[in-house]
A and B are shown apart, each in its own frame.
Chain A
């Protein structure tokens, strides 16, 4: 009898521990629940000014992808690309590509969703993806229930839940930001994740321009950690200097060339066969080669530096590859795109009774606005979590991971707080800070529940820490859930308990709304009461929004959008900075008396006047 044949030794994938299995299930549960919550609440959410622009751009991108399938050689020509991608080229294409493809597949081909639902589907996926990312990052510090609470809390902020519905970029960039940090943290411990970090950073660049600041949050940590790790190894230290030196030298060379030939000539001559591209290629090649050598010398140092090098190399490559608009004119079109955001307009914005028209803006604006819009139970936990971490830093107890968390929690808030940075857009521009603040809040929840449990246990045996944690999380989340349920579709109007809700914010003189999506609240009345063929002035709504409302069956197709002078019905959006439009409506229509309106907690949002 022959001996049993044993197969050749195979690398065995380590099986997951029960705890990891539970975490994986929780993460999937969060993702699925998050996705479904968005899908099921999508219809009442109106179309913001920008969203309608992105619908249009996304459809245009989708047509190009269809052409790419049907006649690829024609599609890759510059004129075909320009035709499809020139509109709204102030934002990169990743999300618009996905919105457009989803529209073609789920609306045009399968007929499963209305046009807006199909456009928005990728946005739901990106927003839902945020929840497991928060959960897993939080799990590095806190227990599963506190981490799940942190993830859920992202959707319990009414403005965040509202924005998660939109075919826009503010939540996707926040997700890509968190993904990049997640990959980076994993990369410090595991192989291959440095590549994923570079790819994630590329996707973040492809989502929105905020992504450039991710690097700022990581570089100090990477340099300090790299310096500390290579302390005992001269060879590794040399490579550490070499890698950093190569990229620093590249930056210096670019600066020198710009100073010598001027920025315009620098850009004009940045072609395929140019010194400018050569510098990038050489820096990436030498940096990559040194990095590979470091891998054999000091694995931990390699894992620290490799994500940054991957971000430097893969980030621009993904950015270039994802956006056909750059394929034939990479430099000048990228330069235009960056310049657009560096010189962005300032829009009028109401804040504590004053109209902010331009810089310098108040330094406290972002913090105050956050305090007045994030549900107070969550905001207080975030604040306590932040203070706790700072206290640990003072006591020199802060870990590297905590440093990364705090740096990312602070980055977007600090950036927008700068007095010269445009301040419009409510809270969406510092969304990338919010997931990290949610993780800090989870720490507060965990510590607080432990403290409460210690207080209660002598009198109440059932008050074990896990039970107290769940009870406290439910208590904290319920008020936020009620607020979100009541106003999520009018998310730009939402204010917290600290503000006194919407009425309190109105008395404080805060911006009532923006983006003009609250129009959805009066559409049923208009559909019921507008006369056949009625001429309506939709104040602050552009034609694209009206087109999309009619296309999605939300507004009767027989009414016409006209200017104030021709209108018989005026739909005024209450903005303090646009009161003149309401007063002119009185003048033109000969009445001071509205016929209907959207009043949220008594605050006027949309006011409708009819010609006498």
Chain B
């Protein structure tokens, strides 16, 4: 028995060693040549349309950012396979299927529903480029982050009293020293173009108010920025309000919750008054990313 075990042990060691050697010799062949990235960039430059986006597969293959033409958004974050990319009617999927654990099967499962291939895939060395029509997209009518400069921002007491937060060129600076501004920030690893707001504490709310064009639907997403979401001790939950023409809905962002949460809003009439607001008893680490959008119909 011992002799048999030794033979098996020898065969296992040799087989694993051989497999490992083949892997190490093969791995460099999965690299992407700079010329291949440049070829992809040429195609994208020539064929891109307004509203297009590039989606990276696997999500972390961000070297492509260096080469993708300026102005064409590139999306790649843990979980981006399932991103609806609803602002973008067309998606360029730039993949590296030959990489180990590229996970193309899992990607297709998350990505393909409601997407339609446009034309055939093109290969550039180890890069594969395929254009898709995005069946999950909706025309964007409004992004509140683009309205920050024109919006009315103030601190509001429980009695309805208001303290203005004047615009200083970069954001609305409130009397508590905190600023409401448009910023690219991280909520659970994903980049969001946020309206960044910080809870003033106590029963006070920080409010951003603005008027909107007409839209078929609206939504508000909110979540704690970056590591603030992980705060469990010395923090209190936050309440987020989404108010359209005086009709308010709200949601709680619990302590320790690092995810983005979404409220679906009503259709908007031209000139609707929208207020988004944040409150948390303890202001410590209550920095929240708001993404308020209004959508047209497809």
Contacts and interface: CB of A to CB of B under 8 A. Distances in A.
B112 interface: no
Given A375-B20, A472-B17, A592-B74, A452 B7 contact: yes
Interface stretch (A4-12, A125-133, A593-601): A593-601
Interface string B43-60: 000000000000000101
A506 B58 contact: yes
B264 interface: no
A591 to B, nearest CB: 7
Contact of A584 (B30, B68, B183): B183
A590 to B, nearest CB: 11
B63 A597 contact: yes
Contact of B61 (A380, A587, A602): A602
A315 B146 CA distance: 66
Q: How large is the interface on A (under 10, 10 to 19, 20 to 34, 35 or more residues)?
A: 35 or more
B17 A353 contact: no
A507 B58 contact: yes
A505 B78 CA distance: 13
Given A353-B78, A497-B23, A576-B78, A479 B100 contact: no
B14 interface: yes
Contacts, number: 171
A478 B65 CA distance: 35
A347 to B, nearest CB: 12
A602 B186 contact: no
Contacts of A447: 5-6, 9-10
Nearest to B8: A451
B108 interface: no
B30 A601 contact: yes
A377 B65 contact: no
Given A479-B21, A503-B99, A593-B68, A583 B184 contact: yes
B185 A583 contact: yes
A381 B13 contact: yes
B1 to A, nearest CB: 11
B12 A450 contact: no
A249 B58 CA distance: 62
Contacts of A586: 184, 191
A453 B13 CA distance: 13
Contacts of B21: 377, 475, 478-479, 482
Given A475-B21, A577-B227, A448 B10 contact: yes
A120 B17 CA distance: 33
Interface residues of B, number: 54
A357 B230 contact: yes
Contacts of B30: 503, 601-602
Given A482-B24, A500-B100, A594-B66, A580 B12 contact: no
A475 B65 CA distance: 39
A592 B9 contact: no
B159 interface: no
B77 interface: yes
Contact of B10 (A452, A478, A580): A452
B159 to A, nearest CB: 36
Interface string A568-612: 000000101101100110110001111111010111100100000
Contact of B24 (A444, A452, A479): A479
Given A601-B30, A602-B63, A451 B185 contact: no
A455 interface: yes
A507 B189 contact: no
Interface string B1-45: 001011111111110111111011101101110000000000000
B226 interface: yes
A604 B96 CA distance: 14
Given A452-B7, A476-B13, A596 B23 contact: no
Contacts of A509: 78
A80 to B, nearest CB: 41
A168 to B, nearest CB: 27
Nearest to B11: A452
A186 interface: no
Contact of A592 (B8, B23, B27, B73): B73
Contacts of A472: 10, 13-14, 17
A412 interface: no
A482 B27 CA distance: 11
B6 A602 contact: no
B177 to A, nearest CB: 16
A594 B65 contact: yes
Contacts of A455: 7, 10-11
B107 to A, nearest CB: 10
Contacts of B27: 501, 601
A586 B184 CA distance: 7
Nearest to A595: B66
Contacts of B16: 376-377, 380, 476
B10 A449 contact: yes
B291 to A, nearest CB: 13
A445 interface: yes
A259 B31 CA distance: 64
Contact of B12 (A380, A591, A594): A380
Contacts of A607: 62, 65
Contact of B13 (A377, A577, A579): A377
A316 interface: no
B7 to A, nearest CB: 4
A33 B139 CA distance: 66
Contacts of A577: 227
A504 interface: yes
A377 B7 contact: no
Interface in A470-510: 472, 475-476, 478-480, 482-483, 486, 497, 500-501, 503-504, 506-509
Nearest to B76: A604
Interface centre among B16, B25, B99, B225 (most CB of A within 10 A): B16
Contacts of B18: 475
A384 interface: yes
A479 B23 contact: yes
Contact of B101 (A353, A500, A576, A604): A500
A90 interface: no
A187 B101 CA distance: 50
Contacts of A445: 13
B78 A504 contact: no
A348 interface: yes
A591 B71 CA distance: 9
B102 interface: yes
A380 B13 contact: yes
A50 interface: no
Given A448-B13, A455-B7, A602-B61, A579 B189 contact: yes
Given A497-B24, A506-B58, A586-B191, A451 B186 contact: no
Contacts of A453: 10
B157 interface: no
Contacts of B186: 579-580, 583
B70 A593 contact: yes
A454 interface: yes
Interface centre among B9, B18, B65 (most CB of A within 10 A): B9
A420 B74 CA distance: 39
Contacts of B17: 377, 472, 475-476, 478-479
21 contacts: A355-B230, A445-B13, A447-B9, A448-B14, A451-B3, A472-B14, A472-B17, A482-B25, A497-B20, A501-B100, A503-B30, A504-B99, A507-B102, A580-B185, A587-B184, A591-B70, A592-B74, A593-B70, A601-B27, A601-B31, A607-B62
CB-based closest 6 A-B pairs: A451-B6, A500-B100, A452-B10, A448-B10, A580-B186, A451-B7
Interface of B: 3, 5-14, 16-21, 23-25, 27-28, 30-32, 58, 60-63, 65-66, 68, 70, 73-74, 77-78, 96, 99-103, 183-186, 189, 191, 225-227, 230
Given A375-B20, A448-B14, 13 more contacts: A380-B16, A384-B13, A447-B10, A448-B11, A450-B10, A451-B6, A475-B17, A500-B100, A507-B101, A576-B189, A593-B65, A601-B30, A602-B63
